Structure 1
């Protein structure tokens, strides 16, 4: 594990930077939502608009990576950190939508670039690194969610918390600069004009979509579910996304070992079933302890789904095509942010958050029943 951390230390700093901002944002959702004065449905629409930025950025991220080369990660991380300063100052829905769109443009671009660089390192080192990288994201996410909750309890505003995170992110950017990942070398096979097959990309992208949708639902709505439905305080509510981050970190670091013994197909099947069970438990929990258990099971299960899917596809394409393949899968995956916010907002407003989380559980079962068999049948 220490060797793997050293090999991938540059991109790992980028994963940690993403976790910092999204973990803190998840714990601040109730206060930001109240500060702006939005209903559940309106907040869902704001996040839907913001997701447009992520999807557009992800589609264009391979071109940015070609232009920036080894400077891709520090430049995109700096852009993301700057953009996250603005949501804390939002006082209208329109301001929040624009601010979150800027944040998701930076975050989405960085997401594609850091996953592509990890995939390149996997190819050059011969080591599985994707679960480790996503595990670092989850550790950072959990710590930041807890810090955000305690910051709220101490009277810090969202603007103050995001400003403090920028200082931490600057230290991570220094690490990205100090340990860049070289651009992949192109072989004659890589230079041959070959198109990526949508027979592979569509089902793999849908797997990532459902995984991201489940993560986003818990990140964005778990604190509200705990505070509104079970009477949790600010710190107790922040434990919802924090537990998701902690259990996802445990699951992904465990996946670093599991991948040596079981195939991606087997792990993804088992993981999505566990996540579906956890979502139902959290949805109908009679008290905070059971809700925390449900979110923990959801986090443990969903933790390995997206990184396993990225690694699975990265193994099936040439080095030169990795960034493009991951970009296209990520675009499909982040379409979960188009479906997730309005679905969660509509169901929460009309039927309650327990029904919203139950719908997530049902959708997750499509992965083992339909999508994994489709990817397994693909032959390059």
Structure 2
């Protein structure tokens, strides 16, 4: 059977000699037209029987009607794959394919599951064809998922790696912030985003169902969870991918019990940041016992890979080897306390709250016990000018690079 896929000017899909017109997908009836009644099981059975008719138009008509039957036809079509001619089996698979790339979530889920079952249980040409269909529709499902999720406010972040500069700690990612207007139902499309490695979440409406959908993503290994009504029960929904996560950021979460038992399941972790975390009413940065529980759960994480901070965010970048002075600021993020106070890239920070700053890493140490909302006094030098700055620290932000 020749396989081809062409989109004509009329919007008809032709693949393998079968023409699927847009009307077959159940377009809304025109205004004033009577609503269509759902097909009966007897009608569906009759159409399936016609799929291997010796009359081409009868086969085509039956195919169109089955596509218009939507979810009601999925079960009978999957059953018919195993009983009948090769022509009937291929046409059944073809209709299931149409459902698997439609915009109805429940229909897509069921049709995709049926195709996967056929591909896994049939060892002949039928099973091979179903497997081939699943591979061919992956790009279509991915493009549709990007379109739908972007339209609902999910932000896609990416990088353009240069030869010799890409590291394991960078990856294409998504942000699910308060800009997201969908629900857990639409997050089903996340599982089609096999290229996504990094998920960052900051949403006041998050539920356990959201984490359950994220856990179906195939290649996530970087994760940030910030703010929102997150609890331990929600985090448990991530168990299917916990063993894959190697970078984890938990920002400003207020948990009733220790996350240590869950962290112990994250056997690939090598870097963890816990900023502004509260467990059982105590700030983790100041709770030595909780810090020890977390360290004990992460024997594979080196001391410099586990960071606890009170959560105040200055918003500046400096040299990675900034253990010695002077403390020269390389850049300052906009919309941060430092920028609003007047600090700019190229400035040299010489004093914080009366303490002389010995280098950029020393600056970080001086601020690690400060909370979001705390105010600090800084003295910075720009050329020959000395500036006294009153800086209000903010919260750590979602980041495009780890």
TM-score by length of 2: 0.23
Greater relative CO, 1 or 2 (CA 8 Å, sep 6+)? 1
